[in-house]
Amino acid sequence: MRRSIGRTNGAVVSSSLNAGDVLATLSELPLDSLHERAVTMTDEPESLILYRDAAGQVSAWLNVCPHAGRRLDWSPGQFLRSKQGELVCAVHGATFALPGGQCVAGPCRGACLREVALQCDGDAVRLAAAKAGAAQ
Ligand code: FES
């Protein structure tokens, strides 16, 4: 099932996207911002974290904390940040470096978020087909 991305009150509404579909445009991703996208990978629904760093590079990880397998956001697309700008898991407080995705503090220190490959095509940020099949 494919649906388009929409917005409600400025927040991006999750949609189900497949490999090759546009996850976001660069204009939707301000520098140093985190976003959530619902996608379908190998026929399974997944939640992704999108992060565009201060230099404009976009990274994606599965929205699954390596500590206990829970989502990192406290509400879909709502992520906690430390004063230093790290990503903080809303469940038990594991803290992840950005843009690397390594846990630098908390119960899974040393673990990493599972990266998902992206491809940028002009302004469009897409889920890369090859990595999409590998992430299960
Ligand atoms: S599930 Fe994220 S810190 Fe425990």
Residue with the smallest CA separation from ligand 1 atom 4 is 92
Distance of alpha carbon 88 from alpha carbon 80, whole angstroms: 5
28 alpha carbon – ligand 1 mean position (Å): 28
Cβ atoms within 10 Å of 110's Cβ, excluding its own: 8
46 alpha carbon – ligand 1 mean position (Å): 17
In a domain, 135, yes or no: no
Residue 2 DSSP code: -
- Closest Cα partner for 77 from 134, 112, 109, 29? 29
Share of the chain above pLDDT 90, in %: 72
**Into how many domains does the chain fold?**
1
In a domain, 120, yes or no: yes
Q: State the CATH number of the domain containing residue 78.
A: 2.102.10.10
For residues 102 and 94, the answer to whether their CB atoms sit within 8 Å is no
In a domain, 36, yes or no: yes
What is the residue-averaged pLDDT of the chain?
Answer: 85
In a domain, 1, yes or no: no
CA-derived radius of gyration, the chain: 14
Q: Is the overall model pTM greater than 0.75, yes or no?
A: yes
Helix, coil or strand: residue 32: coil
In a domain, 40, yes or no: yes
Residue with the smallest CA separation from ligand 1 atom 1 is 68
Output the pLDDT for position 19: 73
Supply the range of the domain harboring residue 22: 6-128
49-84 confidence digits (pLDDT tens): 999 999 999 999 999 999 999 999 999 999 999 999
Give start and end residues of each alpha helix (H) in 53-135: 129-134
Output the pLDDT for position 4: 34
Q: Residue 22, exposed/middle/buried by CB under 10 A (0-12, 13-18, 19+)?
A: middle
Q: Which residue has the higher pLDDT, 21 or 64?
A: 64
